Amino acid sequence: MILKHTCLLGLLLCGCQAVLQVSISLNKVEMSVGESKFFTCTAIGEPVSINWFSPQGERIISNERVIVHTEGVRSRLTIYNAIIEDAGIYRCQAADAKGQSQEATVVLEIYQKLTFREVKTPQEFRQGDDAEVVCDVISSPVPAVSWFYKNREITSEPNSRFQVLPTNNLQILKVGKADEGAYRCEARVEARGEIDFRDIVVQVNVPPVLSVPQQSFNATADYQESVTFTCVTSGSPDPQVTWYWKGHAIEHSEQYVLNTMNGGKSTLTVKNIKQTDGGPYMCRASNKAGSSESQLFLKVFVQPHITQLRNVTAVEGSAAMISCTAEGEPLPEISWRRASDGHSFTDGEKSKDGRVEVRGRHGKSMLTISGVQLSDWGRFDCEALSRIGGHQKSMFLDIEYAPKFQTNQSIFYSWEGNPVNISCEVKSNPAATMLWRRERFTISSQGTSNIRIHSTDGRSLLEVTPVSDRDFGRYNCTARNNIGARYQEFILAQADVPSSPYSVRMTAVSQRMATVSFMKPDSHGGVPISFYIINYRDTSSAQEWRSARTHGVQTAVVLTSLEPNTTYEVRVSAVNGKGQGEFSHTESFQTLPIREPSPPTVHGQRGVGKAYRLGLVKQDDGGMPIVEYILKYKTDKEEQWMTKLVPGMNDFALLQPLQWNTRYNVEITARNVKGLSEPTYFQFLMPQKPDITADSLFSGLGVGAVLGVGVCVLLLLLVLLDVSCFFLRQCGLLMCITRKLCSKKTSTSGKSKELEEGKAAYLVDGSKEPIVKMRTEEERVTNPEDCSPVNEPNETTPLTEPEKLPLKEENGKEVLKPDLIEIKVHTDNSIHTKQDDSKA
C-alpha cells in the first residue's frame, strides 16, 4: 500500500506521467513433480512487451510443456507436469516505449513425492539362489524404506538370510519355497508425513526333477503292438514335458498319443509299432527354473520273414540248389523240411545217403541235392526261426525226366470182332508225345478201319477190333520228350473160353436150400470171368436143368425153393467175354426131410405199464413155415398156466396185464405142420409199482407244457364222457357216428362173428389141424341190429367160462354172444378143444 501511495504521489508531482510497474500473482510456490501450475504477470503503465525468463536466464519460448500466453498488460506462464529441473527463480520483465523496463520474480520450489518406479510383482527367483527383491522408490527428500513379511517388519540382523540393502532392496539368501509370499515395501518422508507402500509377491521356481519308472522296452513289429513310455516330473511351476525321438520333437498323432495326468505323470504311447520305431526316446521336462531330461530305449524285435524263395526245376540225375533268404531281429536261423517224408535238415547237416546238404550264414541258407531222384520231387519248406517267432514258406522242386511206362501188362486177349483196348500209360516231365507202331510202320493218329487211337495226358489207348489173324501180334508204343525217348511192346493174343471149375461140393444143405461152392477154373481164357452158371435138377424125374448164376465172380451160390427129402444133381461152368466154358463134373446131394422147428430164441423187453414184451427170434423152421408160437406163463406162486397163441409171422408177443413186483415163468413153443418144437424157458421180474404224483409229473415241465397237458386231459375227459353216454344213454357224438355207419351195412352183418384174435378153431370138415385167424381192432364184433359192441373174450380171459345168459339192453333186444372155442392145454402139450354150449 505504501508503494501504491508513493507511485500515486510521484505521478502527481511529475504532472501525471505514467510509471511502469510489474507484479506477479505469487512470490513463492511449492509443487511436486508432475503437478501443473500457472503464474500471472501484470504490468502497470504502457508496456510494449512482457517476457518471461527461466532460472537459467533464458527467455522462455512456449513448447509442449511450458507455455507463455500474453494479452495486453498481462502475461501467464503455465508449467505442465513439472520436473525437478523446472525449479528456480522465474522473472517477468516488462518494457515500455522509452526502453525502460521493470521486472518481478517468483520462486518455484519443486519436491519429489513418494514414487515407486517399476516395482514388479510377482518377482520370481530360482530355488537356492540369492534373491534380491527390488523396490525402487524415490522422493525428495530421500525416503526411509522398511520391509514387512507376514505383518512383521524385517530387520537386518547379523547372520540373517534377510537383509535390506542400501538400495532399499530386500536380499534373501538361498531362497526356498518356504520364502514364497507377499512382501510389503513401505516408504516414508518424515518432513511431509508422507507414506506409501507396495506389496510384492515373491515366487520361488523349483527346477524340474524327472524320474523314469522303466527305461528299456521291448516290442515286436507288425503285430499292432503298442508301448507306453512314462515320465514322472515335479517342479514349480509345473514342468512342461516334451518327447523326442532321435532328436526330433514328437507331435500328437494317430501313432503317437501324448497324455498328461495328475501327479506330474506324462505318457507317450507308440501304436502299431514297426521296425523303424526302435531306438532312443527322450523325455524332457522344463520350466522357468530350468530343465531335465532322461532317455528311454525301445528295442523292436522283428518276426522272421522269408524274403526270397523260388521254385526250382532240375533234371533227374543232375544237381539242384535251393536258396532261402530271411530277415528279422534277431537274425533267424533257417532250417529245411522235405514234405514227402517230413525229414528236416539244419545248417551243416547231411542226409544219410549224402545227397542232401545244407549250408548257410547271415540269414541265407542253401539246400543242395546231388543226383536228383524222382523221390526228391515235391514241396520243400523253408522255416526261419528266432526266439520271438518263426516264418515258413514253401517251394516246389520240379524234376524233369524221360518217359516211364506205368503199366506192366503186356499181353492182351481178344477175338475176331471183339474190340480190345491196349493201354499205354506213361509218366514223364515234360509231357511226352506218344506213337504206335506195327511191324515198323507207324499207325496214324487217324487210325484205320479197325484200329483207333484215343489219347489223353500221359495215356494213349489203342483200340483194335480184330477182323483176321493178321490183327493179332506185336504192337509198339513209343514215348518221347526233350529229356529222352522210351518204348514198350504189347502182344495181342487170341482169347478162349474158360476151363471148367472144379471141386464142386455142398457146404450147407437144409430142407429147401443148399449152398454150392467150387474152385475157380485154372484158365480164364485170357479174358476175365464175368460170372458162373450153376445147373441143378431133381434126379427122380425127367426134369430139365434149372439154372442159377452168381453175382460177379463169387465161388458160392445158394439154391432155394428146393423140395425136402429130394436128391439133386448139380454142375458149374464159367462164362467170360468169349463165351461159356465147359461144365464141371456133376455132383449129387439130398435135401433134408421135413421136421419140427427148432426151439425159438427169446429176449425180453420191459413194456409200458403192466405189460411185458417178448421178442421172438425164429430159428430153423424144419422146412415148413411156423404156424404159431404157444406161450404159457404163470407167476411163481400160481400153479395154473395162462396160454397165449401168437401167429408165426409175428416177431414179438405182448403179455398183459401183469402184476407188479412179481416174477413170471414163461414157456415158448414153436409149431409147424410137422409138430411142436422143444420149449424155450424164460423168466422175468415185473418192477415195483411206480409212485406217480403230481409233483413228479409236473416238476420238470414248463408253463406251456403244463397247459398242454391240461388241455389234453380236458379232451380226454370229454371223450370219456361221450363214450359213457354211448353205452349208458345211447346218445352223444359217438352214437350218431355209429348209427350212420350201421345204416350203410348190408345184410351180411348178421352172419356169425369171426373167432377172436389168438384163439384156435377147428375146420368144419373135422380136420384135427387147428388154424389161427387174426382179427384187427377195426373188426371187433358188433350187434347186427344197432352196431353196439359185443363183449368178446381176450387174451387174459380164462379159457373155461361158465355159461352166460343173453344180455338184454334197455330197448328189450337180446344180444347173443358168438360161439366160442374153448382151448385147454395139458401138461403133455396136447391141445383139446370143445364147442361152447351157448346157444342163441
DSSP string, 654-715: EE-S--TT-EEEEEEEEEETTEEPPPEEEEEE--PPP---HHHHHTT--HHHHHHHHHHHHH
Q: What is the pLDDT of residue 107?
A: 93
CATH, residue 52:
2.60.40.10
Element (H, E) at 28: strand 28-32
CB 435 within 8 A of CB 442: yes
Q: Is residue 695 part of a domain?
A: no
The three-state secondary structure class of 725 is helix
User: Do 11 and 105 share a domain, yes or no?
Assistant: yes
- In the DSSP assignment, the letter for residue 350 is B
In this prediction, residues 717-721 reach a mean pLDDT of 85
Q: Is residue 761 part of a domain?
A: yes
User: Do 92 and 122 share a domain, yes or no?
Assistant: no
Q: Is residue 725 part of a domain?
A: no
- State which residues form the domain around 246: 212-301
Is 70 exceeded by the pLDDT of residue 482?
A: yes
Q: Is residue 741 part of a domain?
A: no
Q: What is the pLDDT of residue 742?
A: 64
Q: What is the DSSP string of 101-169?
A: EEEEEEEEEEEPPPEE-S--SSEEEETTS-EEE---EE-SSPPEEEEEETTEEE---TT-SEEE-TTSP
User: Do 814 and 840 share a domain, yes or no?
Assistant: yes
Q: Is residue 840 part of a domain?
A: yes
Q: What is the pLDDT of residue 701?
A: 57
Strands 290-309 and 320-329: antiparallel
Distance of alpha carbon 136 from alpha carbon 147, whole angstroms: 13
User: Do 293 and 336 share a domain, yes or no?
Assistant: no
Distance of alpha carbon 454 from alpha carbon 441, whole angstroms: 18
Candidates 547, 760, 566; CA nearest to 645 is 760
Q: What is the pLDDT of residue 239?
A: 93
* Percent of the chain surpassing pLDDT 70: 85
Q: What is the pLDDT of residue 807?
A: 36
User: Do 659 and 676 share a domain, yes or no?
Assistant: yes
User: Do 350 and 271 share a domain, yes or no?
Assistant: no
In this prediction, residues 87-110 reach a mean pLDDT of 90
User: Do 551 and 586 share a domain, yes or no?
Assistant: yes
Instruction: Give the residue with greater pLDDT, 379 vs 118.
Output: 379
For residue 643, name the pLDDT band (cuts at 50, 70, 90): very high
Residue where one domain finishes, among candidates 639, 669, 685: 685
User: Do 107 and 6 share a domain, yes or no?
Assistant: yes
Cross-strand bridge partners of residue 104: 92
CB 411 within 8 A of CB 493: yes
Q: Is residue 360 part of a domain?
A: yes
- For 679, counting Cβ atoms within 10 Å of its Cβ (0-12 exposed, 13-18 middle, 19+ buried), the class is middle
CB 468 within 8 A of CB 487: no
Q: Is residue 280 part of a domain?
A: yes
**Considering its fold, how many domains does the chain have in total?**
8
Instruction: Give the residue with greater pLDDT, 138 vs 835.
Output: 138
In this prediction, residues 198-223 reach a mean pLDDT of 92
Q: How far is CA 351 from CA 223, 295, 345, 357, 610, in A?
A: 37, 51, 8, 7, 77
CB 396 within 8 A of CB 387: no
Q: What is the pLDDT of residue 766?
A: 40
The one-letter amino acid code at 371 reads G
In this prediction, residues 228-238 reach a mean pLDDT of 93
Distance of alpha carbon 248 from alpha carbon 229, whole angstroms: 16
Q: Which of 77-91, 199-213, 410-424, 593-607 has the lowest mean pLDDT?
A: 593-607
Strand positions, DSSP E, 595-640: 601-606, 612-617, 628-635
End-to-end CA gap in the chain: 188
CB 43 within 8 A of CB 95: no
User: Do 573 and 625 share a domain, yes or no?
Assistant: no
Q: What is the pLDDT of residue 556?
A: 93
Q: What is the pLDDT of residue 542?
A: 72
Q: What is the pLDDT of residue 618?
A: 76
User: Do 281 and 323 share a domain, yes or no?
Assistant: no
Residues 6 or more apart whose CB falls under 8 angstroms from that of 703 comprise: none
For residue 150, name the pLDDT band (cuts at 50, 70, 90): very high
Q: How distant is the alpha carbon of residue 586 from its chain centre?
A: 72
CB 608 within 8 A of CB 590: no
User: Do 259 and 288 share a domain, yes or no?
Assistant: yes
Q: What is the pLDDT of residue 780?
A: 43
Is 50 exceeded by the pLDDT of residue 16?
A: no
User: Do 482 and 524 share a domain, yes or no?
Assistant: no
Q: Is residue 396 part of a domain?
A: no
Most confident of 1-5, 554-558, 717-721: 554-558
The rounded mean pLDDT for the chain is 83
* pTM, to two decimals: 0.42
Residue where one domain finishes, among candidates 669, 685, 701: 685
Is 90 exceeded by the pLDDT of residue 532?
A: yes
Q: Which of 173-182, 608-617, 762-771 has the lowest mean pLDDT?
A: 762-771
Residue where one domain finishes, among candidates 189, 205, 221: 205
Q: What is the pLDDT of residue 744?
A: 52
Is 90 exceeded by the pLDDT of residue 674?
A: no
Distance of alpha carbon 759 from alpha carbon 772, whole angstroms: 6
The three-state secondary structure class of 581 is coil
* Percent of the chain surpassing pLDDT 90: 50
CB 531 within 8 A of CB 572: no
Cell 516488462 sits on residue:
94
The one-letter amino acid code at 339 reads A
Q: How distant is the alpha carbon of residue 321 from its chain centre?
A: 42
Candidates 312, 323, 279, 317; CA nearest to 298 is 279
In this prediction, residues 436-459 reach a mean pLDDT of 88
Distance of alpha carbon 86 from alpha carbon 711, whole angstroms: 123
Q: What is the pLDDT of residue 380?
A: 95
For residue 453, name the pLDDT band (cuts at 50, 70, 90): very high
Q: What is the pLDDT of residue 409?
A: 87
The one-letter amino acid code at 379 reads R
